[in-house]
Amino acid sequence: MKRFALIGKKLGHSYSQQYFDGLFKELGLSDHSYRLHEMASLESLRDWIREEGICGFNVTVPYKQAIVPLLDSLDPVAETVGAVNCVTVEGDVLTGHNTDAPAFLKTLGEERWNRALILGTGGAAQAVAYALRKLGVAYTFVSRKQKEGMAIGYGELRSFDFSHPTLIVNATPVGMFPDTERSPWPCPEVLNGHCMVYDLTYNPSPTLLMRQAAAQGAKTKDGLEMLHLQAALSWELYKR
């Protein structure tokens, strides 16, 4: 049996197992399995891999950045982003990859934005920032923790000029199942038709943030397409 998994602290929101179960069934891979594995910490990571015979695994909140020092190597994208959402296992060698960034980039299609706001500064936010740099889009992080001036605070959004086209990406877990009646955005009244709100959350959809944005005339998009694309890219790495 070839075993694959998703690790994170809380995984009740995840559709990853559903995606891979469907993929394995479609491909006739009855000797492949994928499961969700909640970890309180990463201390026993290598023991778990060895004991369970894990061939590869995905990584989600809150470990996309924390796992980096525990790996043997990173691919160029993961090294640049500083975050990992996919790990390939070859014997005792763990290699970190980032399929979030190319997946996010692909979901933007032909749409182009001059500027963006990224809510959060974690692993998903860093992948989004990498993709936006590839497109030459200027971006600003929005965070409760303003580290050395790297981000603006949420309180500053009320005075932000939204008269120009602005892409707003929620890369935080706020609003994700089961905490569905929360939004990371404190002032929905400032949003308008110039805005595109892209919430990386896909469970639920629409999120409260998306509903609030739509009520103000903004375009909205959830993260389900990105989930499927990053999973498909992970599978290409696993089957090598």
Residue 183 contacts residue 153 (beta carbons within 8 Å): no
Predicted TM-score (pTM) above 0.85? yes
Angle ∠(120,124,127) on CA atoms, nearest 5: 115
What lies within 8 Å, CB to CB, of 26 at 6+ separation is none
- Long-range pairs, 138-146, Cβ under 8 A, ≥24: 138/114, 139/115, 140/115, 140/116, 141/117, 142/117, 142/118, 143/119, 145/121
**Euclidean distance between CA atoms 4 and 53, whole angstroms:** 9
Supply the pLDDT for residue 107: 97
Residue 183 contacts residue 175 (beta carbons within 8 Å): yes
Supply the pLDDT for residue 67: 98
Which residue among 2, 9, 64, 134 is the active-site one? 64
Which residue shows structure tokens 């602290």? 9
Supply the pLDDT for residue 210: 98
Supply the pLDDT for residue 7: 98
Question: What secondary structure does DSSP assign to 138-205, as a single string?
Answer: EEEEE-SS-GGGSEE-GGGGGGS--SS-EEEEE-S-TT-TT-TT--S-S-GGG--TTEEEEE---SSS
Regions of the chain with pLDDT less than 50: none
Supply the pLDDT for residue 39: 97
Supply the pLDDT for residue 146: 66
Supply the pLDDT for residue 127: 98
Q: Is 2 a catalytic residue?
A: no
Supply the pLDDT for residue 151: 87
Supply the pLDDT for residue 202: 97
Supply the pLDDT for residue 144: 86
